Structure 1
Amino acid sequence: MTNLSSYQDVSAHGALADASSHEVITQMYRTALTRIAEAKGSIERGETGRKGEQIGKALAIVEGLLMSLDGEQGGEIAENLTRLYDYMARNLVKANLEDDAAALDEISGLIRELKDGWEAIPVELRT
């Protein structure tokens, strides 16, 4: 890890320490999109190791989103998100094994849709 990437990691962790749960989820969506885009670029360049690394990071974020769900409070929405995150996780693994850029595009579209909906939540309802 370079000094710059170490600084960026510390900076990102510091910024999230004071963030609301809404801001943390927003950042998770954004970072997942970045990792998936980087993985797609790695597929196009034939960088197998980097592709796997970026997909692994995206998968960890999706699993983190899954673990953040509260089935009791979230009810049907949490159930639907559980199924969607599970679908994304399975397809990230598939995309990694098969160098499937189209699967990455699909997952990016799903995450972007969730992110846009999440960001549209009125400020007074955010936590």
Structure 2
Amino acid sequence: MVLRNPYQTYQKQAIATSSPEELTLKLYQGMVKFIRLSKMALQNNNMEECHRYILRAQDILNELMVTLNKEYAVSDSLLPMYDYMNRRLIEANLKKNIEQLEEVEGFAVELSETWSTAMKLNKK
């Protein structure tokens, strides 16, 4: 008999029952989390872990890019922004540059906060 990790079960259920708007917020929050973890790994001189976390942040950016809804004008602004952030993550990964990670983190935090505010306003 295989015991399931209750945390993983909870996470899967939370994702399965989330609205598209909530999923987008979770992606932004996840990107912030992985960038921060990559910065910590870099500061601890753990290059392998730093690399792995940056790749996770890039995976999230790629998901955001492919799921953009082109019916909304904001998509025309977000796609180049995501592309820029992705290129900066690639550079940060190659050079192990914390300033580039901080730049992308700032954008990711702003996107997350803006999306969260928009969701709250939309509920009213």
* Shared fold (TM-score, shorter chain, > 0.5): yes
Q: Could you tell me the percent identity over the aligned residues?
A: 23
Paired letter, 1:94: E
Paired letter, 2:54: I
Q: Measure the CA separation in 2 of the matches of 1:85 and 1:109.
A: 13
Per-residue CA deviations over 1:82-123 (Å, capped at 9, x if unaligned) read 000000111111000001111111111101111111111154
- Which one of the candidate residues 68, 71, 74 is aligned to 2:72? 74
Give the paired residue count. Answer: 121
The runs of at least 4 aligned residues of structure 1 exceeding 2 Å deviation read 6-11, 122-126
* SS of equivalent residue, structure 2 residue 72: helix
Matched, 1:13 2:12: yes
- CA positional deviation for 1:125: 3.0
Alignment of structure 1 residues 90-109 onto 2, 5 Å: 90-109=87-106
Q: Measure the CA separation in 2 of the matches of 1:107 and 1:13.
A: 27
- Gapped regions of structure 2 (runs ≥ 5): none
- Which one of the candidate residues 90, 108, 112 is aligned to 1:111? 108
Partner of 2:55: 56
Q: Measure the CA separation in 2 of the matches of 1:101 and 1:122.
A: 31
- Gapped regions of structure 1 (runs ≥ 5): none
Alignment of structure 1 residues 1-40 onto 2, 5 Å: 8-40=7-39
* SS of equivalent residue, structure 2 residue 22: helix
Note the aligned Cα RMSD (angstroms): 1.9
Q: Measure the CA separation in 1 of the matches of 2:113 and 2:121.
A: 17
Per-residue CA deviations over 1:7-66 (Å, capped at 9, x if unaligned) read 544432221100011110111111111100010011111111101100000000011111
Question: Taking structure 2 as the reference length, what is the TM-score of the superposition?
Answer: 0.89
Q: Measure the CA separation in 2 of the matches of 1:20 and 1:35.
A: 22
